[in-house]
């Protein structure tokens, strides 16, 4: 009972703050926010034709009476849905909701336009508006209840971008919408799903300017996964592969220095992980396993402190084994995939910090307007 009183009180308090120009009953829809519904309002002039009704709505809008303008446009769509003015009125509904900052209702109104009037002259503008609103949520606009932010916007942004792609799969906003789905997933730490989203960009829009960013973000997402807790060798190897693929496909990208240094960092992680595993088996007394992982530490280099230690321990361990055991351990070490060495490893080891376009080894997910 008390909860009901509290909820009623909240609604009353918020209702007091609503504009006096509200055109009619407000109904909350989870996917839209607060929208005006109900029959024609007594204080809204109703005409007998769609053209006259559109003129009435425009007059309300010109006079700044946006509440009644919304009501008039909605009445037109409801009463004259098959007329030429109906899609124009539906677009106006979305536009006015957007002007009022009711972005969820605006998005839904634009969706309705695309669904009901796919040949509308405002189709492209509606898709652009949908993309713009989705980006607001990606940038931090929160889902609201009576104007009060109540939940994170990333999941809402993802669904909105999916709607943009569904509306115009080959439209100009679809590649970036698909990329931004990956961004939204990354910001929720859903890195494996983000990788899938970025792979969709590369697969479906390989010639688009955003494709190189998507390939880079595939590596970045795997890199983030590999840095969580104990090093995940599979994720690290996949990150190296993705960055190497990026360097091969987009050698002139401004992100080349970042990708190169990221590879260097990841190679270090793989060797460090192998070194830790080798020490574990060494302490456990499993000589064969220790030799296998110490051999992985060596890779293509032998000048690091860990590599020197690994080389020394391999010799010491083999000295305590029979020739047959030592030969078997060496055979298994050779059979095991070594620490990945990419075609650009030597470049990755170069000092890129002095380059004018260098901005650091790890970047935050990029954002585009």
Mode of pairing for the β-strands spanning 26-29 and 143-145: unpaired
Question: Using one digit for the tens of pLDDT, what is the confidence trace for 236-263?
Answer: 889 999 999 999 999 999 999 999 999 9
| DSSP collapsed to 3 states, the chain | CHHHHHHHHHHHHHHHCCCCCCCCCEEEECCCEEEECCCCCCCCCCCCCHHHHHHHHHHHHHCCCHHHHHHHHHHHHHHCCCCCHHHHHHHHHHHHHHHCCCHHHHHHHHHHHHHHCCCCCCHHHHHHHHHHHHHHHHCCCCEEECCEEEECCHHHHHHHHHHHHHHCCCCCCHHHHHHHHHHHHHCCCCHHHHHHHHHHHHHHCCCCCCHHHHHHHHHHHHHHHHCCCCCCHHHHHHHHHHHHHHHHHCCCCCCHHHHHHHHHHHHHHHHHHHHHHHHHHHHHCCHHHHHHHHHHHHCCCCCCHHHHHHHHHHHHHHHCCCHHHHHHHHHHHHHCCCCCCCCCHHHHCCCCCCCCCCCCCCCCCCCCC
Residues 6+ apart with CB under 8 A from 363: 220, 255, 258
- What confidence score (pLDDT) does residue 302 get? 59
Percent of the chain having pLDDT more than 70? 73
What average pLDDT does this structure show over 338-347?
A: 40
pLDDT of residue 75: 95
Whether the predicted pLDDT of 301 surpasses 90: no
pLDDT computed for residue 267 by the predictor: 84
Confidence band for 63, pLDDT divided at 50, 70 and 90: very high
Of residues 205, 212, 215, 211, the one with CA closest to residue 252: 212
Q: What is the pLDDT of residue 273?
A: 77
Mean pLDDT for the stretch of residues 166-172: 94
Mean pLDDT (the chain) is: 79
Half-sphere exposure of 142 (CA within 13 A, CB side): 9
Condensed to tens digits (0 to 9), the pLDDT of residues 5-33 reads 433 343 333 433 333 334 444 455 444 44
Task: Output 36 or 211, whichever has higher pLDDT.
Answer: 211
Ordered by where they begin, the domains of the chain are 210-369 (1.25.40.10)
- Mean pLDDT, to the nearest integer, of 286-305? 75
Structure tokens at 315: 């010799």
- Range with lowest mean pLDDT among 74-78, 168-172, 264-268: 264-268
pLDDT digits (tens, 9 = 90+) for 109-143: 999 999 999 999 999 999 999 999 999 999 887 65
Q: In this predicted structure, what is the pLDDT of residue 233?
A: 75
pLDDT, tens digit (0-9, with 9 covering 90-100), for 305-330: 778 888 888 888 888 888 888 788 77
Query: Using an 8 Å Cβ cutoff, are 237 and 270 in contact?
Result: yes
What phi and psi, each to the nearest 5 degrees, are found at residue 131? -65, -45
In this predicted structure, the answer to whether residue 360 has a pLDDT above a threshold of 60 is no
**pLDDT at residue number 181:** 97
- CB atoms near residue 260 (< 10 Å): 25
Q: Judge contact between 198 and 217, C-beta under 8 A.
A: yes
pLDDT of residue 92 exceeding 70, the answer is yes
Q: Per the structure block, which two tokens stand in for 156? A: 């809402």
pLDDT at residue 337 in the model: 53
Q: Kindly tell me if the per-residue pLDDT of 335 is higher than 70.
A: no
| pLDDT for residue 83 is more than 50 | yes
Please give the C-alpha separations between residue 155 and each of 255, 265, 328, 368, in angstroms, as whole numbers: 28, 31, 53, 19
Instruction: Examine the pLDDT at 359 and tell me if it is beyond 50.
Output: no
């Amino acid at each position: 009972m008390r909860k009901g009183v509290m909820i009623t009180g909240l609604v009353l308090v918020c209702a007091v703050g609503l504009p006096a120009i509200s055109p009619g009953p407000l109904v909350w829809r989870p996917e839209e926010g607060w929208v005006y519904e109900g029959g024609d309002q007594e204080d809204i002039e109703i005409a007998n034709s769609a053209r006259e009704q559109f003129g009435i709505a425009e007059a309300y809008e010109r006079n700044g009476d946006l509440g009644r303008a919304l009501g008039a446009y909605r009445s037109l769509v409801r009463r004259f849905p098959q007329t030429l003015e109906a899609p124009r009125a539906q677009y106006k509904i979305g536009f006015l909701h957007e002007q009022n900052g009711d972005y969820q209702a605006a998005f839904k109104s634009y969706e309705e336009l695309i669904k009901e009037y796919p040949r509308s002259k405002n189709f492209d503008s509606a898709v652009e508006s949908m993309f713009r609103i989705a980006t607001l949520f990606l940038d931090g606009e929160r889902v609201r209840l009576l104007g009060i932010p109540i939940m994170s916007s990333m999941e809402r942004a993802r669904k909105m971008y999916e709607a943009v792609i569904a509306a115009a799969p080959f439209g100009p906003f679809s590649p970036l919408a698909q990329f931004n789905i990956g961004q939204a997933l990354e910001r929720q730490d859903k890195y494996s799903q983000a990788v899938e989203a970025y792979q969709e960009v590369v697969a479906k829009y390989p010639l688009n300017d955003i494709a190189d960013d998507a390939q880079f973000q595939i590596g970045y997402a795997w890199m983030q996964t590999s840095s969580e807790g104990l090093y995940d060798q599979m994720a690290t190897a996949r990150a190296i592969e993705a960055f190497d693929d990026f360097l091969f496909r987009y050698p002139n990208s401004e992100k080349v220095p970042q990708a190169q240094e990221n590879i260097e960092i990841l190679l270090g992680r793989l060797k460090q992980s192998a070194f830790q595993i080798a020490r574990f088996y060494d302490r456990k007394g499993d000589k064969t396993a220790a030799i296998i992982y110490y051999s992985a530490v060596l890779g293509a280099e032998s000048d690091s402190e860990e590599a020197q230690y690994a080389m020394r321990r391999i010799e010491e361990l083999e000295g305590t084994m029979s020739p047959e055991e030592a030969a078997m351990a060496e055979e298994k070490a050779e059979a095991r995939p070594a620490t990945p060495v990419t075609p650009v490893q030597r470049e990755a080891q170069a000092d890129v910090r002095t380059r004018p376009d260098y901005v650091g080894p790890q970047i935050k997910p990029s954002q585009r307007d």
